[in-house]
Amino acid sequence: MKIAVVATGKIGLPLATQYASMGHEVVGVDVNQALVDCINRGEEPFPGEAGLAEKLAEQVPAGKLRATTDYAAAIPGADAVVIVVPLLVDEETWQPDFGWMDAATRSLAENLTPGTLISYETTLPVGTTRGRWMPMIEEISGLKEGEDFFLVFSPERVLTGRVYADLKKYPKLVGGLSEAGTKKAIEFYESVLTFDERPDLAQPNGVWDMGTAEAAEMAKLAETTYRDVNIGLANQFARYADTVGVDVYKVIEACNSQPFSHIHRPGIAVGGHCIPVYPRLYLSTDPAADIVRTARNYNATMPSYVVDRVQQIVGDLTGQTVVVLGASYRGGVKETAVSGVFPTVAELKARGANVLVHDPLFNATELAAHGFDAYELGNPVDVAILQADHAEYLDLTATDLPGIKLFADGRNFTKPEAWVGTPRIVIGG
């Protein structure tokens, strides 16, 4: 098949290489010319995705994969188009900002030819595929869904850093707008993916027909919103545990020893493109979901809570040097999307602290681009707050942070025995 992948970022590019590895001709489309040029050189444009560099080095020179900024060079004649363009959410209104996706959809529709399967993998509010994309594509292209082209929603369910493994591990959910479209989508994904055996599942691992696009849209929102709500509950338990002197991690371990309890871990922040964002997409069509809204708002208070605890112990933060360890939203990923570093730094600065940021994946210039002053291990500091659980921080000790008066481990990630003699606090510990 000829396959076009629209948006070749940290999800789209691994998808494109996966399809090419199954013997198909793949063209990536992206508005970023520098990214396109990098792909066409067969070079890895971002670090940390296991197996990506090897696939690019093999597929690009072999002519199996190329990239372009021109929709007219990729869409006409394509058997399938997979769209993973980011969907943004307004920070104040929590409403989806479809700007980038609308632009991509218009460009796709302007170049669409009959017989093409279109699959949206970007997480969407329920009803978007049917209510927004179908009429837009039909109007611009002059083609009819279910007859001239076929439109489905099939959410990506992978994490950056382990995309190829996740593609095999988790069922591929498909929701169509027509019987013909669903059939084509199932055939398509069965031809580009392979699946691990999962005896734990109620049905065989593979491509699962969700019945409708709306069911597939809701499934992605529900599985991610569940995590945010669960973390909110864990944070609530942890904050209460702090008031009564209980180790919440022992409590959670005990609870989860029974198969009916799956309490997540508390932490200083919930970041990334997914967990803090998708509950807002869900709320955009179900505004009565008070449980979802409460958990999202509660999780957003955690950086302030950690800073409160720090100030309770060390006193006034005015003029004190505080380093936030980790700019990334989670360990091992060079990505700051909705990272807890931003509210943590803002909260510290509001209380008069001299704030520095350290991250083993970012150099000083990159940190400065985010508005941060860089810290180097070994320089004097009064307080350190661990925000991201990078592996490099696992063996951190007070000798790496001369003069430290308090270490606040916002992820309960470091080893307590390494901090004997230096005050160390965790959330709920």
Distance CA 392, CA 390 (A): 5
Distance CA 424, CA 92 (A): 35
Distance CA 167, CA 159 (A): 10
Structure token pair of residue 158: 């992978």
DSSP per-residue codes, 285-336: H-TT-HHHHHHHHHHHTHHHHHHHHHHHHH---TT-EEEEE--SSSTT----
Q: Which one-letter DSSP state was computed for residue 398?
A: G
Place of tokens 């302007």: 110
Q: What pLDDT is recorded for position 54?
A: 97
Residue pair 194/168 in contact by the 8 Å Cβ criterion: yes
Helices (H), ranges, 11-162 = 12-21, 33-40, 52-59, 99-110, 128, 134-141
Q: Which residues, 6+ apart, have CB-to-CB distance to 81 below 8 Å?
A: 3, 4, 5, 6, 75, 108, 116, 117, 118, 119
Structure token pair of residue 145: 């869904």
Q: Name the 3-class secondary structure at 115.
A: coil
Q: Which residues, 6+ apart, have CB-to-CB distance to 89 below 8 Å?
A: 95, 96, 97, 277, 280, 281
Q: What pLDDT is recorded for position 48?
A: 84
Q: What residue type is assigned to position 17 of the chain? A: T
Q: Which residues, 6+ apart, have CB-to-CB distance to 321 below 8 Å?
A: 353, 354, 356, 380, 381, 382, 383
Global pTM value: 0.93
Radius of gyration for the chain, computed over Cα atoms and rounded to the nearest angstrom? 23
Would you write out the chain's pLDDT as a tens digit for each of its 429 residues?
999 999 999 999 999 999 999 999 999 999 999 999 999 999 999 988 999 999 999 999 999 999 999 999 999 999 999 999 999 999 889 999 999 999 999 999 999 999 999 999 999 999 999 999 999 999 999 999 999 999 999 999 999 889 999 999 999 999 999 999 999 999 999 999 999 999 999 999 999 999 999 999 999 999 999 999 999 999 999 999 999 999 999 999 999 999 999 999 999 999 998 999 999 999 999 999 999 999 999 999 999 999 999 999 999 999 999 999 999 999 998 999 999 999 999 999 999 999 999 999 999 999 999 999 999 999 999 999 999 999 999 999 999 999 999 999 999 999 999 999 999 999 998
Distance CA 151, CA 133 (A): 9
Number of H helices, E strands in the chain: 15, 15
From residue 109, how far is each of 2, 68, 114 by CA, in Å?
Answer: 17, 17, 11
Distance CA 259, CA 262 (A): 8
Q: Structural domains in the chain?
A: 2-211 (3.40.50.720), 221-298 (1.10.1040.10), 302-426 (3.40.50.720)
How many residues belong to the chain?
Answer: 429
From residue 371, how far is each of 343, 364, 421 by CA, in Å?
Answer: 13, 10, 33
Q: What pLDDT is recorded for position 47?
A: 83
